[in-house]
Amino acid sequence: MKSLILKGKNATERVSSGVFGFDDLINGGFRPNTVNVILGDIGTGKSSFSWHFIGHDETPVIYMSLEEDLDQIRQEALSLGLTTIEEKIKKNQLYFIAAFTEISINSTSGEIAQNFFNIELPQRMNDFKKISEKFGGLKIIIDPLTPLLFEIGELKFQRESINRIFRSLRSIGTTVVTLEKGFGEQLVKIPLFLADSVIDLDFLGLGSIYNRTLTVKKFRGSSHSEKPVPLLFEKGTGLKVLTQ
């Protein structure tokens, strides 16, 4: 079995992001049992990043979606030439949860998110812990977390809710969470503060290799690159970070 944990020079155990070139920026990969936020506007590659994180290893993945069903996500990933989702499905290693499918059609996306994270997710935690213990690790993807933030406008309650969610996620595995940037700094302030790392994706429209960039804004407990680096989309490869 190929482990998802990497060990780099001067690095502790790491969990690979799956994105070509990115792990070089963060000393070998994500730290195990952390929550890592991928921040960006629409079309910057947030979901694509999460598809890479699924990986080609034997580690099971829990994929939580608040906006799309599995067929939509599979088609979008395959359009980039990414096969990670198909591979995990064939191996029965992908646990896909479309939170919106179990709520009334009259519910808002925020109400759906709040119900999922405050009721459904805690009910599933024991099952997730058993999976993590059985396989020696677990990867979790939440794409996106933004609807929950819309519903919980009061900062105090938002902080309590997000803090509780992040603690639960850290207890069962390593998590990638996507967040929309375009709704203002105030909306995403709490999850960015509570996250273990923040990866900022930008579309600059410069028409060069710096048309799209990736910047590691925060990475607790480890050294990391702090400068913007070019981010490319390539058919078959998907996202590719240029580090040189």
pTM: 0.88
Confidence band of 100 (pLDDT split at 50, 70, 90): low
229-234 and 139-143 strand pairing: unpaired
Helices (H) and strands (E) in the chain, counts: 8, 11
Q: What is the mean pLDDT of the chain?
A: 85
Which phi and psi (to 5°) does residue 47 adopt?
A: -65, -40
Residue 196: predicted pLDDT: 98
Q: Which domain holds residue 145?
A: 5-241
The CATH code of the domain that includes 50 is 3.40.50.300
Predicted confidence at residue 67, as pLDDT, reads: 80
Is residue 104's pLDDT more than 70?
no
Contact 195, 218 (CB under 8 A): yes
Number of structural domains the chain divides into = 1
Average pLDDT on 112-134 reads 79
Start-to-end CA distance of the chain, whole Å, equals: 32
Return the pLDDT at 102: 53
**Strand segments (E) across the chain:** 5-7, 13-15, 35-40, 61-65, 94-98, 139-143, 174-180, 197-203, 212-219, 229-234, 238-241
Q: Which residue has the higher pLDDT, 106 or 155?
A: 155
Does residue 15 contact residue 5 with C-beta atoms inside 8 Å?
yes
Of 47 and 126, the structure prediction assigns the larger pLDDT to: 47
- Residue 185 pLDDT > 80, yes or no? no
How many CB atoms are located within 10 Å of the residue 89 CB?
Answer: 13
Determine the pLDDT at residue 2: 36
pLDDT tens for 126-178 read 888 888 998 888 999 999 888 778 777 677 888 888 998 899 999 999 999 99
